[in-house]
Each structure stands twice: as structure tokens, then as C-alpha cells.
């Protein structure tokens, strides 16, 4: 049985507030397989970014937070790594790009140098060799007139161009996995499409895996191989993209998909999910979605459900006791993801 | 300038290939007053370097018969009470002033900005330790620090440089720390961490270029101040010992006869003034050139 490239198990990140420790994400588990695209999807504040930053070891303030669980990248457990060893992994084996291309480049350094720098820092290349490689990378991310762009500063580049530069930097050391945290949210629609297709082509060409964080289900449908839906800091459903859109099983996913306007179907009313996401220090006991769920039973509020595989599809897992009971009333297989 | 006009301009003009240094030099070239400052300062520095060949006389050779001669064809700037040629003394004095000014500034910039970057970037106890020590140093006015060090270690050029550097370190540390605290929260520093760069690389490759403009401006001002303080210490007899020619010393020697032979103090004073003024012009121009946001590209 092949091993996943990135294995995340029970990842929990707690933040300290004035009244105690509260989990911003809880028991997040998923796998990323080589060369696939996993989309982490969910509304704002559901813990998508915290999940990525926890895996990357990028959350600030060591005294104010705690990360527990297990993260294994390519056989190497990451959470226990000392800072220095973790730095050698970041940018080399695993990279990340961010939402704001306008502010993610250093305004006082030429872009060529910024693209070359990961190669100098990690690859031990000299400046000339690194800049030659940087030129190749800028070509690779389809920046026109790359050799002229090398000496330019970020403010001379458009937003889409800057995001390409960010991608070139992230990919400079040929990482095995790239986290993209809402990489196109700040860009206009045509540029969005270009950047997404660039990411997809680069994934196919380099054999890397892509973890795409988004709240846009249209992006999910066009990019993902598999999807993990997050709600209030937990993964509530994970499935292949086909299974998720064809058979959304968790009530939250179902309502989320029902809330998208569609051009190809005549829908009279869009579903709205009543209520709002609970605050981090006021999470309900039991299932976190229960207060807003149309299926909720008294039992849902008693105990938090575990992520459980459906009987029909081992890799389609949901965190909902009602739906699991409906699907397989005689045999509930809790924790089947292990 | 709007995004559109930038790209239009970029499309219209044949793209020139210029590195970071080239761009800075080009921006500096366009600034005429900065050029004037640089030219004057370089001329003074060159004259100082070439003093042994340029000076018409030995700076400590006494021509008693020609004492207190006003400027004439032989002694272009006149002579002092011992009949020493003033032009030669001012040229030799420039060496002391410029070496002390530049060396103490360099020491202050290197130590001060490194401490400021570390304090600002790491924060916490390290910051407290560094900045409170800086506050202690800062509580001594430059002239008092000069007096203190010279009184303890004796008057010599190295001691003067140490004294001046000690008073400059906290100023550069503060100027480096404040923007570092703001810049370390920027997205591009977060992106650096995501790329696995070490703290030192982030500080010196990514944050330093953002604060170097402020540091350069301050550096030129403090080179000027160091030259001025050195003259002050020499004026009160705590600088480099006579008979070595120093600008402060010449002003002091001329002070007793300022009514009869005003040129003695006047020309040495003008040398100090010109150097300080040139450095200030240079600093302003450097700031505009280093910061791409002020270049108006």
C-alpha cells in the first residue's frame, strides 16, 4: 500500500485567550497523495489557513498557542522538528503562497533576486547560477519578457504578475507539496483563471502535490482531485471531487452546495444556512454544526462525532452520526480513516 | 503614477537592463544638490589624502619671522602665531577630521544597526536587554562621552573614534529598530518565513534594505556631527595632541588673536562648516536615491 505524501492526523491547534485555551482547529485529519490537488474548502474563519500554517510551522507566538497531533511529510514527522530543521523543510520540500500578491514581495529588492534567493538559501547556489535559474523559473510561470523583469521592482508588476513571481519563488527548490492559501482571491476573474491553470499545469509537470485553500466552490470543482470541507475548525467531510459534488453527505456540505446559484439549473430559491459560526470560546458541546443543522437530533449535542468512512466508499468520510447511522445502521465504523 | 501609465511607459521606452545598484546610481545622478555635496566631500577627502603632496609647507614647521602673516602669495591662507603655514595645517587637519568622522560613523552604523535589527526582530528579553543598554549610552551627550573616554583612556585618535562610536551606536540602533518592528509583520516577511529563510537572512537581506535609507541619512549627519565634536574636543585641548594639526586645535590657537589675525580661526572654521554642509546635502540625496518609493518610478 503506497503511503500518502502528507499525512495529517488529529491536528489540533489551541490558542490561549484570557479565559483559557481554545482549539481553533480540532482533530483535523487528511491525506495528500503524490501529484494530486486537495482543496480545503470552507467559509471564512473555519480554520483553513490555520491548518496550513500549523502544518508549515508558521504560526507566531509560541507561548500563546499549542499544536498537537501528527503531521508526516514524505516519512518525516514535522511537528517535533526543531526550528532549524523545520526551516530546511520549508521552502525546500514544502512551500506556501499567500492571498495578497500585492504585499507578499519585498518592495525594495528586484524580483529576479527574490526568485533566486531560495536557491541561494537552500540550494547553496552562487548568485549568478541562482539568477540564471530564476530566469528559467520566471519563464516557467509564463512571465513575458522575463529577462527584463528580473531587474524590476515589485511595484512595476501587476497583481497577476506578482502572484506568478510568488509561485516561481515557492517552486524554486522543487518542493514536493505547495500550499496555496486563496491564491486568486485578490485577483480579477480572468487573471484568476490564468493563475489557476498555471498552478494546475505546474502540478502536472513537476509531479508535486497541491493543497489549495479556497472558499470558492467553482474553483474546487475545476481544480480538485479531492476535497476536505471544513466547518468551525473541523473537517466535516472529505471525498473525491466527483463524490462530493454528486453525493454531498454531510448536512453542511449539502447546504453549502445548495447555496450556490447555478447557470445550468432553474432554481427558485437558494438555500441559506441559518444562524452563524460559533465563536472559538463558545463552541457547542457535541457536533459543532448541530445548532444550524436540519437533521440535528438530541444525540448530536451529546457527543462529538468522529470522522467516519461511508460504507459505500472507503475514501468518503463524514463527521455526522445521523447520516452514518442512516447509511449503515448496523455497523458504525468509527475512526475508519486510520 | 497609475498602474496603467506605468505599464504604458514601460512598453514605450526601450527596456533598460539595470541592476539594483545601477538604479540607485541613476537616481542619485539626477539629484544635483546631492552631487554637489558628494563632490565637495570627495574633494575635501582627496585633499586630505594628498596632504603630504599638496601642502606647500610642513604643517609643524615654524617660520617665526613670518608669524601672523595675513594671506599672501607665499602663505595662501596666512600663518599662525608660530609662523606655521595655515593652508598646510588645514590640509593635514582634514586627515584627522575625516578619518575620525568616517571611522566612528562606520563603527556606529555597523554595530548600531545590527543591534537595532536584532532588538526589533526578536523582541522580548533580547530587545529589552539591547534597548535598555542603548538608553544608558544615550544618556551621555556626545561631548560628555568624548570627555569621559578621553579622560579615562587619554587623548588619541583611536580613543576619540571609540567615544564617538559609543554615542552613535544607540542612535543607529533606535533608527533601525523602529521600522523593523513594523516591517517584520509585513506579508513579505511572512513569505520569507514560508520559504524557510533564517532569521539572520531575513534581517539582513530583507529588512535592512528597507531601513537603510534612514540609516544612511543619519550616517551622513553623524559623520558631520563627529567631525564637529572632534573639533570641539580639540578646541578645549582634549583632542589629538598638539603640535599635530587639527581643525579644532587651529581654531583654538587663533582664538587668542582673533582681533589681530582673524584668518587663523576663520579658515579652519570654514573647513568644518563646508565639510558638515556637504555631508548634509549628500545624506538627503542618498535617502531619495535608495528608497524606490521616492524615486518616482
The grid coordinates listed for A26 are 480540532
Choose the closest CB to A88 out of B187, B194, B196. Answer: B196
Q: Nearest CA to CA, how far is B206 from chain A (Å)?
A: 7
Q: Write down the mean pLDDT value for chain A.
A: 88
B296 shares contact with chain A (CB less than 8 Å): no
Q: What is the pLDDT of residues A297-336, one digit of tens each?
A: 888 888 888 888 888 888 899 999 888 888 754 444 444 4
Contacts of A100 in chain B (CB under 8 A): 187
Contact at CB, B210 and A107, closer than 8 angstroms: yes
B19 shares contact with chain A (CB less than 8 Å): yes
Closest CA to A98 of A175, A38, A166: A166
Closest CA to A183 of A194, A330, A50, B123: A194
Give the contacts of B185 (CB within 8 A, at least 6 positions apart).
Answer: none
Give me the mean pLDDT over the A58-86 stretch.
88
The residue in chain B having the minimum alpha-carbon distance to the alpha carbon of residue A115 is B195
Q: From residue B84, give the alpha-carbon distance in Å to each of A263, A316, B69, B153, B272.
A: 97, 97, 10, 30, 19
What is the model's pLDDT at position B294? 59
pLDDT, averaged in runs of 10, over chain B (297 residues): 41 43 69 86 91 84 80 81 86 90 94 96 93 92 86 87 92 94 91 92 92 84 89 86 84 85 88 92 78 56
Contacts of A62 in chain B (CB under 8 A): none
Whether residue A62 has a cis bond before it, omega within 30° of 0: no
Contacts of A166 in chain B (CB under 8 A): 191
Q: What percent of chain A has pLDDT over 70?
A: 96
CA gap A292, A330 in Å, rounded: 27
What is the model's pLDDT at position B204? 93
What is the model's pLDDT at position B9? 40
What is the model's pLDDT at position A61? 73
Choose the closest CB to B210 out of A58, A96, A108. Answer: A108
B20 shares contact with chain A (CB less than 8 Å): yes
Contacts of B203 in chain A (CB under 8 A): none
Chain B contacts in chain A segment 29-58 (CB below 8 A): 56, 58
Cβ–Cβ < 8 Å for A253, A226: no
ipTM: 0.83
CA gap B181, B172 in Å, rounded: 15
Closest CA to B230 of B212, B245, B215: B245
Going from N- to C-terminal start, the domains of chain A cover: 108-174, 247-327
What is the model's pLDDT at position B99? 92
Whether pLDDT at A160 is above 80: yes
pTM of the model: 0.80
What is the model's pLDDT at position B22? 64
Among all chains, which residue has been given the C-alpha cell 537572512? B201
- Would you state the torsion angle of the CA atoms of residues A109, A110, A116, A117, taken in this order, to the nearest 10 degrees? 0
B185 shares contact with chain A (CB less than 8 Å): no
Contact at CB, B201 and A121, closer than 8 angstroms: yes
The terminus-to-terminus CA distance of chain A in angstroms comes to 13
Contact at CB, A117 and B194, closer than 8 angstroms: no
Q: What is the pLDDT of residues A198-208, one digit of tens each?
A: 999 999 999 99
B206 shares contact with chain A (CB less than 8 Å): yes
A90 shares contact with chain B (CB less than 8 Å): yes
User: Would you give the distance in Å from CA A132 to the centre of its chain?
Assistant: 31
Q: Nearest CA to CA, how far is B251 from chain A (Å)?
A: 45
Query: Where do the domains of chain B lie, and which CATH numbers do they carry?
Result: 32-51+76-295 (1.10.3720.10)
Contact at CB, A121 and B3, closer than 8 angstroms: no
CA gap B68, B77 in Å, rounded: 10
Cβ–Cβ < 8 Å for B234, B227: no
The terminus-to-terminus CA distance of chain B in angstroms comes to 8
A131 shares contact with chain B (CB less than 8 Å): no
Cβ–Cβ < 8 Å for A192, A60: no
Contacts of A151 in chain B (CB under 8 A): 17-20, 22-23
A259 shares contact with chain B (CB less than 8 Å): no
What is the model's pLDDT at position B15? 37
B209 shares contact with chain A (CB less than 8 Å): yes
| Residue A331, phi then psi, degrees to nearest 5 | -135, 95
Amino acid at each position: 500500500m503506497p503511503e500518502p505524501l502528507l499525512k495529517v492526523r488529529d491536528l489540533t491547534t489551541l490558542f490561549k485567550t484570557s479565559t483559557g485555551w481554545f482549539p481553533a482547529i480540532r482533530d483535523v485529519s487528511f491525506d495528500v497523495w503524490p501529484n494530486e490537488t486537495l482543496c480545503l474548502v470552507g467559509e471564512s474563519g473555519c480554520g483553513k489557513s490555520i491548518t496550513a500554517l500549523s502544518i508549515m510551522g508558521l504560526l507566531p507566538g509560541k507561548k500563546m498557542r499549542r499544536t498537537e497531533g501528527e503531521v508526516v511529510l514524505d516519512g518525516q514527522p514535522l511537528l517535533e522538528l526543531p526550528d532549524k530543521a523545520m526551516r530546511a523543510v520549508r521552502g525546500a520540500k514544502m512551500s506556501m503562497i499567500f492571498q495578497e500578491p500585492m504585499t507578499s514581495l519585498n518592495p525594495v529588492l528586484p524580483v529576479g533576486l527574490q526568485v533566486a534567493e531560495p536557491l541561494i538559501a537552500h540550494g547553496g547556489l552562487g548568485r549568478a547560477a541562482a539568477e540564471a535559474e530564476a530566469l528559467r523559473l520566471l519563464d516557467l510561470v509564463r512571465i513575458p519578457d522575463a529577462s527584463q523583469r528580473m531587474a524590476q521592482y515589485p511595484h512595476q508588476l501587476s497583481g497577476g504578475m506578482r502572484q506568478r513571481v510568488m509561485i516561481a519563488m515557492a517552486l524554486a527548490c522543487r518542493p514536493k507539496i505547495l500550499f496555496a492559501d486563496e491564491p486568486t482571491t485578490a485577483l480579477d476573474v480572468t487573471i484568476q483563471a490564468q493563475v489557476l491553470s498555471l498552478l494546475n499545469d505546474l502540478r502536472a509537470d513537476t509531479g508535486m502535490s497541491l493543497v489549495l485553500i479556497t472558499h470558492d466552490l467553482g474553483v474546487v470543482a475545476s481544480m480538485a482531485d479531492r476535497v476536505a470541507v471544513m466547518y468551525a475548525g473541523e473537517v466535516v467531510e472529505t471525498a473525491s471531487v466527483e463524490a462530493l459534488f454528486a453525493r454531498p453527505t454531510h448536512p453542511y456540505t449539502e447546504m453549502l452546495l445548495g447555496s450556490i446559484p447555478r447557470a445550468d439549473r432553474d432554481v427558485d430559491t437558494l438555500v441559506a444556512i441559518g444562524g452563524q459560526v460559533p465563536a472559538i470560546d463558545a463552541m457547542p458541546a457535541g457536533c459543532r454544526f448541530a445548532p444550524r443543522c436540519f437533521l440535528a437530533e438530541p444525540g448530536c449535542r451529546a457527543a462529538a462525532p468522529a470522522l467516519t468512512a461511508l460504507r459505500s466508499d472507503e475514501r468518503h468520510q463524514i463527521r455526522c452520526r445521523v447520516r452514518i447511522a442512516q447509511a449503515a445502521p448496523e455497523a458504525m465504523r468509527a475512526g475508519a480513516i486510520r | 503614477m497609475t498602474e496603467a501609465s506605468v505599464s504604458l511607459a514601460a512598453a514605450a521606452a526601450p527596456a533598460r537592463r539595470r541592476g539594483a545598484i545601477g538604479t540607485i546610481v541613476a537616481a542619485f545622478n539626477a539629484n544635483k544638490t546631492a552631487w554637489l555635496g558628494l563632490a565637495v566631500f570627495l574633494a575635501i577627502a582627496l585633499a586630505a589624502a594628498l596632504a603630504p603632496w599638496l601642502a606647500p609647507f610642513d604643517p609643524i614647521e615654524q617660520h617665526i619671522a613670518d608669524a601672523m602673516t595675513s594671506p599672501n602669495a607665499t602663505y595662501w591662507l596666512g600663518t599662525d602665531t608660530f609662523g606655521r603655514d595655515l593652508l598646510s595645517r588645514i590640509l593635514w587637519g582634514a586627515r584627522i577630521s575625516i578619518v575620525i568622522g568616517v571611522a566612528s560613523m562606520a563603527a556606529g552604523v555597523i554595530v548600531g544597526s545590527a543591534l537595532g535589527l536584532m532588538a526589533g526582530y526578536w523582541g522580548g528579553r533580547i530587545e529589552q536587554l539591547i534597548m535598555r543598554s542603548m538608553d544608558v549610552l544615550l544618556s551621555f551627550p556626545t561631548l560628555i562621552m568624548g570627555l569621559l573616554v578621553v579622560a579615562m583612556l587619554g587623548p588619541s585618535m583611536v580613543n576619540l573614534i571609540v567615544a564617538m562610536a559609543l554615542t552613535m551606536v544607540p542612535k543607529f540602533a533606535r533608527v533601525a529598530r523602529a521600522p523593523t518592528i513594523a516591517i517584520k509583520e509585513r506579508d513579505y516577511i511572512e513569505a520569507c518565513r514560508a520559504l524557510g529563510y533564517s532569521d539572520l537572512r531575513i534581517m539582513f537581506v530583507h529588512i535592512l534594505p528597507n531601513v537603510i535609507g534612514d540609516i544612511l541619512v543619519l550616517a551622513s549627519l553623524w559623520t558631520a556631527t563627529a567631525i564637529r565634536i572632534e573639533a570641539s574636543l580639540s578646541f578645549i585641548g582634549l583632542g589629538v595632541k598638539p603640535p599635530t594639526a587639527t581643525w579644532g586645535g587651529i581654531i583654538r590657537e587663533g582664538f587668542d588673536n582673533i582681533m589681530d589675525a582673524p584668518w587663523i580661526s576663520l579658515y579652519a572654521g570654514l573647513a568644518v562648516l563646508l565639510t558638515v554642509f556637504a555631508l548634509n546635502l549628500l545624506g538627503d540625496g542618498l535617502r531619495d536615491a535608495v528608497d524606490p518609493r521616492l524615486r518616482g518610478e
